[in-house]
Amino acid sequence: MSTITQLNDLRSELTPPDEETPALVTDFVTGRGRLGALAVLAAQQQRIIASDRRSLLLLATRCADVPLGAWFAGLADGESAALRTLPALAAACGPAADQQPLSGCQTYPSYLAWLALNGHPPAVAAALVANFTAWGGYCATLAGALRRFHGFDEEACAFFDFFAQPATALEQAAAEAIGPAGLTPHEADAAREYGRLLQAYERLFWSTLAELP
């Protein structure tokens, strides 16, 4: 089995069905979304992205002598680019009611930090790629809803637009970086474990925001 086939299969296995779309995203699709919740999202993402960037750089350092190191470093560069788009989103949504870290939102970056220290880098890469599809889809949906119902311009939507890009190129780059030998059975099992937990923590992120008063 080729590496890209392994990654495709893992993505298909872990991508949540449409009926599991977060309530917060569904609310915006129907025009009932609250900008205050997205203001909190922007505040939480400020912390998340800064943490994720350091985690990815640590992963890059752990495998600096193989192509996968450059792949993780590229993701870290992407986090830096995403961070620069947050001020416009925050300004468009208005002040956040709560700037403090919310445990349900910060679980994902905490786990990624654990993976940066303890995970098998090829399995971590595979799990991240599998998670990109769901996250990117939610971001694309929110970007469209914000334009339609709230009149957000390109700058205000830039954060969601950035992550809404198809993950195909990243997936192909990950497959090439992992190499033609692909994931070993042990790494494939680890990737499923990491991916399931990343998905669970992302669902917790969205449900925490949806439950805000």
Report the CATH number at residue 153: 1.20.910.10
Q: Tell me, what's the pLDDT at 73?
A: 98
Q: Which residues of the chain have pLDDT under 50?
A: none
pLDDT at 18 (0 to 100): 77
> By the 8 A CB rule, do 108 and 118 touch?
no
pTM score of the predicted model:
0.95
- Grouping H, G, I as helix, E, B as strand and the rest as coil, residue 132 is helix
Tell me, what's the pLDDT at 27? 97
pLDDT given for residue 160 in this prediction? 98
Total domains in the fold of the chain: 1
Which DSSP state fits 20? G
Smallest CA-to-CA distance from 148 within 29, 22, 23, 25 is with: 29
What domain range is 83 assigned to? 3-210
What is the structure's pLDDT at 90?
Answer: 96
Q: According to the model, what pLDDT value does residue 14 have?
A: 87
